Structure formats: structure tokens, C-alpha cells
Structure 1
Amino acid sequence: MKNHTMEFIIAGRRQRHHRWLVVTVSLAVLAVALCGAMLLLGNTIYPLSDVIRTLFGAEIQGVSFAVHTIRLPRMLAGFFAGIAFGIAGNIFQTMLRNPLANPNVIGISTGSSAAAVFCIVILHTSEMIVSMASVVAGLATVLFIYLFSKSRTFSIGRIILVGIGMQAMLNALISYFLLISAQQDIPSALRWLTGSLNGVQLHELPLLMISVLIFVPIMVVLGKQLNVLELGEQAATSLGIRTTRTRLLLIVSAVLILALATAITGPIAFVAFLAGPIAKRLVGTGFSTIIPAGLVGANLVLASDLIGQFAFDVRYPVGIITGIIGAPYLICLLIRMNQKGEL
């Protein structure tokens, strides 16, 4: 009897691992295909051979400028920002055990946005200063949310409520900055707030790319502990998890990549909100969804940007397309949570 039970458990685990592997590889292949489409498509569609030769250093008139100046920075920004938004959203949703507990809803992205808008329209600083201010403001927002929600016991609901209040306050601050700013600065700030890959330059990306390459492996290593945290504070502590240290590492890592992505592309709507639930639906239970959530985020950003560029007569920023996709999901989620009595 015991042997049959063990065989059943092992077979189930293998099946879940196989599903995780198939889904992750499929998402990676889709991301590569979308990256290729970002490089090939534009006002002029270039042959794949010319694009590849250009990427390896060949100078081809017209192709080199379009690829290196416009398409490659846009593709890299969409890919790495999508990974950052997807993983950061998944970390917060899993750690706080609530699909509403993503960086957009609890004010972390808004904190980075407020700092960036202040630097753009009031201080007129460089992109580097905007990035630094976004990171510092994102970390400060997390600290304020933690301090204002701190009590004798850890409460997910209290954190979410404080975060929603923080988001409302920061949105009001952003509106004030736009109100007192010079008229010529408002379009660039609004375009940034919408979430856009337009105008991204190659020299802006190394910091985001390096941070993703450094902090994502840290979060993947902590993935098993993150799954245990989902069981609750007491269960995690009884299983030997150092909950405070684990949460701190996960939060700092997630906020850093999120803030750097926000500084470059703006707060692309609903990517952090959608990536985790979609990844969990695709992968199922039993294995970490950190990598699948990052790939889902990258695919959402890249696909939405292609739709915004080529599906309509007018070109729309990527944030508008992700907003159109994400808003109905948020409404359905709120209705479902209300029916279950979770609101």
C-alpha cells in the first residue's frame, strides 16, 4: 500500500514538473518570437538575414540605424521591463496571499512614478537621476507602508488597505506636480505615466538589465521559501523559515527591479497584476511560478506593444493596450472575490 502511495506521489510530481517545464519553455519560445517580430517590423520590414547581420556588427544602410537606434532598445526595454513587472507582481501576490496585493494597487509603482514625475517636470534632471529617484522612492514607499501597517501581528489586509491609501495620496501628488509644471513638460510626463517604450535609448538599459540578471536568480533561489510563506506566518515559522529575512530579501529585490523598470518605461498598467495569475493558471500547483510569471510579463509587454503599433490606424503606447486587457480582469476578480466574501 505504501509503495503504491509513494509511486502515485512521485508520478504526480513528475507530471507537474513536466507541465512546468513545457509551459516555461513555450513561454520562452514565444518571447523569442516576439523579440524577433519587434526587430523585424516597423515602417519598413527588413529581411531576417539583414537584421541578424546588423546585430553582429555589419553596417547596412537604413537597417543599422533602425535596428540599433529604435528597434533593439525598444525590444530590450519591453523584454526586461516585462520580466521585472511580472516577477515583482508575482512576488507580492504570493507573499501577501492576495491577487490584489500587487505593486500597482498597493502604491509601490505610484511612489516610483511620483518621484520620476517630480524629477522630470520640476527638477528637469537626467535619466540617471530619474532612475535613482524611482528606486529610492519605491523603497521608501514600501517602508512607509510597512511602518503604517505595523502592529503586534502581521496583517495582509492592513498592508493592502494602507497601500491603497498611499496610492491615492501619491496619485494626488502626481496631479499636483502636473498642475504646477511648465506647459511644455506635461506631454512628456503624461506619456511616461501612461507606460511607453517610445524613445527608449540603448544607454538607459544596462542598469535595468544588470539588476534583472542579479536579483531574479536571488528570488528564484528563495522561491521554495516563498511558497512556504504562502501557507501563513505560523506554518512558515514552524517549518524553519526565517520569515522576516526572507520577506526583506524578496521585497528589496522585487522593488529594485520594479523601480528601475518603471523609471525607463513608466508604470505599464496591469502587467504586474496579470502575470502572476496567468502563470499560476498555466503552470498549476507544486512548483515556483517566478520564472513563468516573468516570461508572461515579457510576452504581455512585447505583444501589447506590437498591437499598439500595428493593429490600429493610430499608434498607441503599450500601457493603453495592457490597460484595455487588464481592466476587465480586475473587474471580474473583484466580483469573484466579493461573491466569495473575500472583500
Structure 2
Amino acid sequence: MSATVKPAQGTKRAAALRTRGGLSLRLDVRAAVVGLVLLVLALAAGIALIGSGDYPMTPGEVVATLTGGGDPGAQFIVQDLRLPRVLVGLLVGAAFGIAGAVFQTVSRNPLGSPDVLGFAQGSSVGALIAIVYFQAGTFAVAAGAVAGGVATGLAIFLLAWKRGIHGYRFVLVGIGASAMLYAMVLYLMTKANIVEATRATTWMTGSLNGRDWDQVGPLAAVCAVLIPLVLLYARPLRMLEMGDDAAYALGVRVDRVRIVVLLAAVVLVAAATAAAGPISFVALTAPQLARRLTRSPGPNLLPAALMGALLLVAADWASQQLFGADQLPVGVLTGVLGGGYLLWLLATERKAGRV
């Protein structure tokens, strides 16, 4: 099989890939380049993060250790202590990034994200119930977070459903659910003793500290199944942005597409939250930044996932460089930076007359 690349009609940024078998694939060159650059930067940030800490290592030493070199001490630090943390950061960031792109596309609202719509708060309630009432261990807390996130998603779907799920109704129901769930979080904190409250507060901050291979395996399995599933729906999601009527006319099963991608996004958010806590604003900012870089219409799912991975790992590295190893949870830094971005986004939307 051979392939030829020809410029697509009507654009200088796209190319059409055609094979001898008649298969045709449209490729957005700028988006592909941006995705490749984001992937390289995310991997570079991961290498820098592995080399950070009380035992600093150069990028060359990190790469040599990852490829089988280095002394036993360096191999223990890299393979057992730091590599799982970086992998969890990359996977959590990718899960939040692609889930945020799905929510913003379905709601047709740049403010539609798990942080705003209550899914992260639902996972927090599930985890707190496991901590406060069952004194659960790490695995049970993660299971509670997943159960809370999925239950919240199903409840929002049912409340927002009226001959289908429509964007603004979905956002409004999610905002209401977020307020109620936050009140539940505060109530559960009042029922906890000092040890449980400290543990719950640490978890809710969102952190990559102490992550090991026990978190990597389940999260990698969820991402390996659901991220490709969401990517398969990239074209229907792009058509949904033109409105339901236009999507129906183009043969898109609108309700089915919404249900499948939203359920996948909810599980991705729940699994990521279970692994690292409710790290805020990555799901909100990653799709927006990816779209601004690619300058391409549509959900930009893969660039959003790569941007999320880069943002989270880079933020964790920055927190260690600025405040010392494990002194500032990454969720605090993303919250501060993401809050500033949210204010800027609201001001931009208001200036454009959309809010």
C-alpha cells in the first residue's frame, strides 16, 4: 500500500491522504504539528520532573536510567519512586483534557468543564464517604471517587434529559448539582475526626505526591479503552458544533453520540480524580489553549489531551522548583493559574457579548 498527499481544496492548512485502496483521510497539518510539539514538550516536562527532587538528576542521567543504565540507587529512585508519579500526571492530564473538550463541545460553552458541572465534586463526595464512614484505604477511596463521579454523571443526565440532552440545560443542571455536592462535602468534613479531616483535605487538594504503580495500572487501562473511543467520535462531535439540525441532516445520531461521549468523559474524569484527587481547571483550560494553538474548528480532542498532560506535569515540576519537593500540591498551583485564566475567559466572553 502506498499513499500520496495532496493539498485539500479550499485550505492551505489541510492535506488529503489517499491510499491505492481508495481510502481518503483529511489531515489538518497545523493541528498535527501542534500535537507533535505538545507531545514532545509533555515528555520533556516528564523527564524534567523525574530529575527533580531531593536527589536531582540531569536529563541525560534520567534517560540513561530509563533505558537500563545507571546505578541501582538511581534505578530505584527513577523506576520505583518518580516514574509512576510522572505517568499518573500524564494520564490524569490527558484524561482531564479530552474530557473537558467533550463537555465544552457538547454544551457549546467554553465554561463547560467537570470543575463547573459538578463531576469533580461528585467524586469528592464519594471519596469522603469512604474516608469518613468506612475509614477506607487507598483502593477503596479510589473506588468511592469513581462511584461518586459516575453516579453524579447519571443523575445530571437524567435531570437534564428532555427529548435529548441540550447544552444550556445540561450546564445549568450541572451548576446546580455542583452547588449541592459542595454543600455535601462541607457536611462530610464536619462529621470527620481530625485524622480523617486531614486526610480528606489532603486528597481534595489534588496532588501527585506519593503516587505509585498501584495508581498507574487502573488509570492506564481506563485511558487505553476510553480515549480511543472518544477519538472515534471526533467527526460527529465536530458536526454537533454546527447545531442539532445540521448534524441530523448530515446523518449524525445526535442523542447516541452525546450519550456515548459524555459517559466516556464522566468515567475518565472519575478515574483521573480517583488517582490524583480533584485537580482543578486542567479540564477547563487545556481544550481552550489547544484550540487557540491549532486555530482549527471542532473539539481538537487529541491536542486537548496532550495539552492537559503537558499542563499538569509542567505545573507539578514548577511547584517543586518554586517551593521545594512535595511542599505545594499541584492542585493548588493549577487552581491559582486556572482561576486567573477563568477570569480572563469570562472577561473575553463578556466583551464578545456571549455572557
Q: Where is the helix percentage greater, Structure 1 or Structure 2?
A: 1
What is residue 340 of structure 2 aligned with on the other side? 328
Structure 2 counterpart of 1:82, one-letter code: G
Whether the 8 Å CA contact 2:280–2:338 is kept in 1: the answer is: yes
User: What is the deviation of 1:288?
Assistant: 5.1
1:156 and 2:167 correspond: yes
The 3-state SS of whatever aligns with 1:104 is: helix
Q: Does residue 291 of structure 2 align to residue 280 of structure 1?
A: yes
What TM-score comes out, normalization by structure 1 length? Answer: 0.92
Residues of 1 paired with 2:272 and 2:247: CA distance? 31
Report SS of the residue matched to 1:342: coil
Q: Mean alpha-carbon deviation: is it higher for 227-236 or for 38-47? A: 38-47
CA deviation vs aligned residue, 1:64-113 (integer Å, no higher than 9, x gap): 33223321111011110000011100111011110111111010111111
Identity %: 37
RMSD: 2.2
Residues of 2 paired with 1:178 and 1:60: CA distance?
Answer: 46
The one-letter code sitting in structure 2 at the alignment partner of 1:14 is A
SS in 2 for 1:14: strand
Residue aligning to 2:185: 174
Deviations 1:270-308 (A, max 9, x none): 000000000000011246511100111011101110111
Q: What is the CA-CA distance between 1:194 and the residue it aligns to?
A: 1.0
1:30 aligns with 2:28: no
TM-score (norm 2): 0.89
Partner of 2:10 in structure 1?
9
Cα–Cα, structure 1 residues 283 and 169, in superposed 2: closer, same or farther, change >3 Å? same
AA in 1 matched with 2:161:
K
SS at match of 1:105: helix
Structure 1 residue 235: Cα displacement: 1.3
Q: Deviations over 1:243-277 (max 9, x none)?
A: 12111111121111211110010111100000000
Deviation at 1:155, TM superposition (A): 3.3
Which of 88, 97, 111 is residue 99 of structure 2 equivalent to? 88
Out of 177, 191, 203, which is 2:214 matched to? 203
Q: Which moved more, 1:330-339 or 1:151-160?
A: 151-160
Where structure 2 has 5 or more consecutive residues not aligned to the other structure, the ranges are: 1-6, 17-26
Farther off after superposition, 98-107 or 137-146: 137-146
Select 1:238's aligned residue among 230, 249, 256.
249
Aligned residues of 1:127 and 1:204 also touching (Cα < 8 A): no
2:264 to 253, 269, 292: 253
CA distance in 2 between counterparts of 1:296 and 1:241 reads 28
Counterpart in the other structure of 2:130? 119
Counterpart amino acid of residue 190 in structure 1: T
1:17–1:287 contact (8 Å) kept in structure 2:
no
Given the alignment, which residue of 192, 195, 198 partners 2:203?
192
Distance 1:13 1:57 in 2: 41
1:108 aligns with 2:119: yes
Q: Residue 3 of structure 1 aligns with which residue?
A: none
Deviates most, 172-181 or 313-322: 313-322
Q: CA deviation at 1:8?
A: 5.3
Cα deviation for residue 152 of structure 1 reads 4.5
Q: Which runs of 5+ in 1 are unaligned?
A: 1-5
CA distance change for structure 1 residues 235 and 287 in 2, over 3 Å: closer, same or farther? Answer: closer
Is 1:136 paired with 2:147? yes
Provide, for residues 36-66 of structure 1, a one-character-per-residue CA deviation record: whole Å limited to 9, x for no partner: 1111121122355554454355683432332
Cα pair 2:101 2:299 within 8 Å, conserved: no
Tell me whether 136-145 or 21-30 shows the greater mean CA deviation.
136-145
**8 Å contact kept, 1:30–1:299:** yes
The farther-off stretch of 57-66 and 231-240 is 57-66
Structure number with higher strand proportion: 2
> Runs ≥4 in structure 1, deviation > 4 angstroms?
47-50, 56-59
Q: Distance in 2 between matches of 1:125 and 1:313?
A: 30
Q: Secondary structure at the match of 1:205?
A: helix
Q: Is the 8 A contact 2:291 2:297 kept in 1?
A: no
AA at the equivalent of 1:63: A
Which residue, 218, 228, 243 being the options, matches 1:217? Answer: 228
Higher alpha-carbon deviation: 122-131 or 265-274: 122-131
